[in-house]
Chain A
Amino acid sequence: MARDKGSSVDRRNFLKTAAAGSMATLVASPTPVSARWPVPRRTMTPLMSKQAETDNPAAADVLTTDRPGSDFMIDVIKSLGIEYICANPGSSFRGLQESVVNYGGNKSPELITCCHEESAVGMAHGYAKIEGKPLGVFAHSTVGLQHAAMAIFNAYCDRVPVYLVLGNTIDATQRRPGVEWDHSVEDAAAMVRDYIKWDDLPISLTHFAESAVRAYKIAMTPPSMPVLLVADAELQENPMGENAGLRIPKLTLPSPPQGDSGAVAEVARLLTAAENPVIIVDRTARTAAGVTLLVELAEALQAPVVDLAARMNFPTRHPLNHSDRGHELIAEADVILGLSVTDFWGAVHSFRDQLQRSSHSITSAGAKLISITAGDLYMKGNYQDSQRYTEVDLAIAADAEATLPSLIAAIKRLITGDRRTVLQRRGQQLAADRQELLDQARTAATYGWDASPVSTARLSAELWAQIKDKDWSLVSDVAPGMSNWPLRLWAFEQHYQFIGGAGGYGVGYGAPAAIGAALANRKYGRLSVNIQCDGDLMYAPGVLWTAAHHRIPILNVMHNNRAYHQEVMHLQRMGNRHNRGVTRAGIGTTITEPNIDFAKLAQSMGMHAEGPIADPKDLGPAIQRAITVVEGGDPALIDVVTQPR
């Protein structure tokens, strides 16, 4: 920052050279104000002048430091094991950014250049779903956080940790005139506080270290959510001092909360005795162990699992995966166990969106409802992602995955020889039913098989044929756009093979989350596959450049139905409800005239791309060519013109 020599108080120099001596003067003698406080001279030296450029600087005017506070901040962030920082550059965190790339060697964390803060947070969201830990995001004070807000909301609703560090200049007297005032804010976190878990504004480096470690701990403790630290620009840029006595606190992650042992025993009793139990899973498996535990639970009970698929919870071709007939099973069930189900009410009710909205329970009389969810441990009121209140018979406020070992053990203790025989018979019937569901899905896929635009079933089948023998990971959602075809046709087995949806249904999540997940998959050599909706990509397509620039290998296959199709259907509903018909439902909802050439868009950002492909016969060879590129370490995109759903 350029300053007029001798004309005003520079806080850094004032503190360093004058404070102690001046204080005695202030207290002891009645000197004039002009002697106590430096007063600006009337004649200001121009910022750029020959004199200013050639004169010897004043001895006290220290212009450099080898030990900025931001170096220590980066050491703290390194200690947390954060691999990457996603950021669109902003001056309020210029100190931190310089420390990442120079002092930190741009390694663990490495800076990932993003073209929009929403993309940066979206990438962090996808990364965390694969890696199980947060990725850092630097955001620029007011405007950067405003851009990031929707993506933060998605991560909050999806219970995913994101580690946000926000630049800001707290001390008004240190702000550069002009832009820095617009990019400073009194309470920066206020605009997102409703949908983050915790925030702090450290005012010293020691404070920063403690809050940074605390923030990580809070973000990672279920229910996980984004956290935000404000990094004051002065704290970043000022020297940390020779003997600052700084240290990095030890991080100890808490064990996730497990269910009360008495309540768990009662759940085990109800489930073991049930004739038609159903297990509903949603945001359940936080880790790979969660998938294994859910399989063990279902097999112990020989009970069907209905997967609402906010995560990869349960192998899709397992004989006990009956997600395709969830409604029917829930209606027949005598005990319904919901494990981290976000919308339990919606799972056990039918809701009709006609002129008179109506709903009714679909459960059988006397059916027992049990919930185990960390959602009961944390709730905010303003944003209504809590969904409707569910009347359950037994509620355990705990992390479902952490509670599964004790629940499984309790169930196994209760299953006697006779009961085991009954359960095995139930399992045999369920296995036969599951095979029938798969056959039905395959038959359903044949309708419209050769259609142009390409059917979503055909697209899914063509993709599956090319990836099934590889170590693949689907880094996108499958509903609603893809009509769940991948979950119906593909054999998902590993936790990293599916990441679920946005959480808050905020469009614009898909592309950055997929690329963030692919970034996490890169070091494992996995083939990341993203089925990418057109409307979603158009929010911030610059993330394609980020993938190309950082060589993040990912196969993007466009589900290009040339519309915000969900909204087309909403307009149809309104048009019909108001007796005006549907012929104008495309106004304001479709993305045509002109059609977007996504292949050219991707090519312009340095990515291999083909398309548009509307004939299904052309799809398989194009996918093969793109996979060759991706396996070489680069991203690729295929634009497929598709059926709406």
Chain B
Amino acid sequence: MSLSGLRLYPLSVLFAGALIVFAGALASAQNVKSVPKAIGSPTGDAESGRRIYSSRGCYECHGGEGQGSILTGPRVGPDPIPFPGFVRYLRQPAGQMPPYTSKIISDAELADIHAFLKSLPRPRSAKSVPLLND
């Protein structure tokens, strides 16, 4: 994982605990030698994905709405990276993120999570939020 964009806090503070999926990380993940075979883009169940996202602790680092944190894990929704790279990174993360092997989460469950992340509402623009314009 590239730490680009993160403030420079000790590792104990910069702790990435769950899903870290973003472009820079994906680029690193694709260089990993032993990765699972390519997976297609199955149709997941977004509602099931919401439950799994919570029960497997994804929200702990990436927030309940996938909004991310500059210190623990980047934003993951509503536009997650394509599903094959998503799975590859979770199975064999290049950075700080703990690996999610198939023993603890199945491809089908990941597909549900992916569907949930895609279903998240796109926020309004910052310029339309008065509190974010001073």
B39 contacts the other chain (CB 8 A)? no
A237 vs B3: C-alpha distance when bound (angstroms): 60
| CB nearest to B127 among chain A residues | A442
Q: Which of B69, B72, B98, B132 contacts A576 (CB 8 A)?
A: B98
Across-interface contacts of B70 in A (CB, < 8 A): 324, 444, 483-484, 488
How many residues of B are counted as interface, with CB atoms below 8 angstroms from the partner's CB atoms? 53
Q: Given the interface contacts A326-B8, A461-B132, A581-B105, does A448 sit within 8 Å of B96 by beta carbon? A: no
Q: Which of A309, A326, A480, A569 contacts B60 (CB 8 A)?
A: A569
Minimum CB–CB distance from B18 to chain A (whole Å) comes to: 6
A324 vs B6: C-alpha distance when bound (angstroms): 6
A483 vs B1: C-alpha distance when bound (angstroms): 18
Stretch at the interface among B30-38, B40-48, B81-89, B118-126: B118-126
Q: Which of B5, B8, B63, B105 contacts A645 (CB 8 A)?
A: B63
Stretch at the interface among A15-23, A205-213, A243-251, A343-351: A343-351
CB–CB B131/A565 < 8 A: no
Q: Given the interface contacts A455-B63, A569-B61, A579-B104, does A484 sit within 8 Å of B131 by beta carbon? A: no
CB–CB A308/B60 < 8 A: no
CB–CB A324/B64 < 8 A: no
CB–CB A565/B126 < 8 A: no
Across-interface contacts of A505 in B (CB, < 8 A): 12
Minimum CB–CB distance from B8 to chain A (whole Å) comes to: 5
A425 contacts the other chain (CB 8 A)? no
CB–CB B4/A568 < 8 A: no
Q: Given the interface contacts A480-B71, A577-B99, does A572 sit within 8 Å of B126 by beta carbon? A: no
B75 contacts the other chain (CB 8 A)? yes
A256 contacts the other chain (CB 8 A)? no
CB–CB A582/B124 < 8 A: no
Q: Given the interface contacts A468-B134, A480-B9, A582-B56, does A444 sit within 8 Å of B65 by beta carbon? A: no
CB–CB B123/A449 < 8 A: yes
CB–CB B104/A581 < 8 A: yes
A185 contacts the other chain (CB 8 A)? no
Q: Which of A448, A455, A569, A583 contacts B56 (CB 8 A)?
A: A583
A462 vs B132: C-alpha distance when bound (angstroms): 9
A451 contacts the other chain (CB 8 A)? yes
A160 vs B121: C-alpha distance when bound (angstroms): 46
Across-interface contacts of B124 in A (CB, < 8 A): 446, 449
CB–CB B98/A573 < 8 A: yes
Across-interface contacts of A464 in B (CB, < 8 A): 131, 134
A645 vs B72: C-alpha distance when bound (angstroms): 8
| CB nearest to A577 among chain B residues | B98
| CB nearest to A323 among chain B residues | B7
Minimum CB–CB distance from B93 to chain A (whole Å) comes to: 8
Q: Which of B13, B57, B133 contacts A480 (CB 8 A)?
A: B13
A300 contacts the other chain (CB 8 A)? no
Q: Which of A351, A352, A457 contacts B67 (CB 8 A)?
A: A457
Minimum CB–CB distance from B26 to chain A (whole Å) comes to: 17
Give the most central of A280, A309, A480, A580: most B CB within 10 Å: A480
Minimum CB–CB distance from A93 to chain B (whole Å) comes to: 37
Across-interface contacts of B96 in A (CB, < 8 A): 352-354
| CB nearest to A446 among chain B residues | B123
Give a binary string over B74-102; 1 marks a CB under 8 Å from any A CB, 0 the rest.
Answer: 01010000000000000000011011110
Q: Given the interface contacts A326-B7, A327-B3, A451-B65, does A465 sit within 8 Å of B123 by beta carbon? A: no
Across-interface contacts of A325 in B (CB, < 8 A): 4-5
Minimum CB–CB distance from A615 to chain B (whole Å) comes to: 14
A566 vs B15: C-alpha distance when bound (angstroms): 8
CB–CB A448/B72 < 8 A: no
Give a binary string over B1-25; 1 marks a CB under 8 Å from any A CB, 0 the rest.
Answer: 0111111111111111110000000
Across-interface contacts of B13 in A (CB, < 8 A): 479-480, 566
Give the most central of B3, B95, B126, B131: most A CB within 10 Å: B131
A585 vs B56: C-alpha distance when bound (angstroms): 9
A489 vs B126: C-alpha distance when bound (angstroms): 12
CB–CB B99/A576 < 8 A: yes
A325 vs B59: C-alpha distance when bound (angstroms): 24
| CB nearest to B11 among chain A residues | A351
B66 contacts the other chain (CB 8 A)? yes
Across-interface contacts of A308 in B (CB, < 8 A): 7-9
Minimum CB–CB distance from A465 to chain B (whole Å) comes to: 5
A597 contacts the other chain (CB 8 A)? no
Across-interface contacts of B101 in A (CB, < 8 A): 576, 579
A29 contacts the other chain (CB 8 A)? no
A131 contacts the other chain (CB 8 A)? no
A419 contacts the other chain (CB 8 A)? no
Across-interface contacts of A352 in B (CB, < 8 A): 95-96
A37 contacts the other chain (CB 8 A)? no
Q: Which of B59, B61, B98, B126 contacts A445 (CB 8 A)?
A: B126
CB–CB A483/B56 < 8 A: no
Q: Given the interface contacts A451-B64, A565-B60, A645-B69, does A445 sit within 8 Å of B10 by beta carbon? A: no
Across-interface contacts of B57 in A (CB, < 8 A): 568, 572, 582-583, 585
A351 vs B132: C-alpha distance when bound (angstroms): 34
Task: Name A383-424 residues within 8 Å CB distance of B.
Answer: none
| CB nearest to A359 among chain B residues | B11
Minimum CB–CB distance from A529 to chain B (whole Å) comes to: 16
Across-interface contacts of A582 in B (CB, < 8 A): 18, 56-57, 104
Minimum CB–CB distance from A472 to chain B (whole Å) comes to: 14
CB–CB B7/A439 < 8 A: no
CB–CB B4/A327 < 8 A: yes
Minimum CB–CB distance from B88 to chain A (whole Å) comes to: 16
Q: Given the interface contacts A445-B126, A447-B67, A579-B101, does A484 sit within 8 Å of B7 by beta carbon? A: yes
Task: Name A484-498 residues within 8 Å CB distance of B.
Answer: 484, 488-489
On A, residues with C-beta under 8 Å from B are 280, 306, 308-309, 323-328, 330-331, 343, 346-347, 350-354, 439, 442-449, 451, 453, 455-457, 461-462, 464-465, 468, 479-480, 483-484, 488-489, 505, 565-566, 568-570, 572-573, 575-577, 579-583, 585, 643-645
Contacts A/B (CB < 8 Å), 29 sampled: A308-B8, A327-B2, A331-B4, A343-B10, A346-B8, A346-B10, A346-B11, A353-B15, A442-B129, A442-B132, A448-B63, A448-B123, A455-B63, A464-B131, A479-B13, A480-B9, A484-B70, A566-B12, A566-B15, A569-B17, A569-B60, A576-B100, A580-B104, A582-B56, A643-B59, A643-B64, A644-B63, A645-B63, A645-B71
- Give 9 closest A-B pairs by Cβ, nearest first: A569-B17, A448-B67, A576-B98, A447-B67, A448-B65, A581-B104, A446-B123, A442-B126, A645-B69
- 19 additional contacts (CB under 8 A) given A480-B14, A484-B71: A308-B7, A327-B2, A331-B4, A445-B132, A447-B63, A448-B64, A449-B123, A451-B65, A451-B67, A461-B131, A464-B134, A480-B15, A480-B71, A572-B98, A573-B15, A577-B99, A644-B61, A645-B61, A645-B63
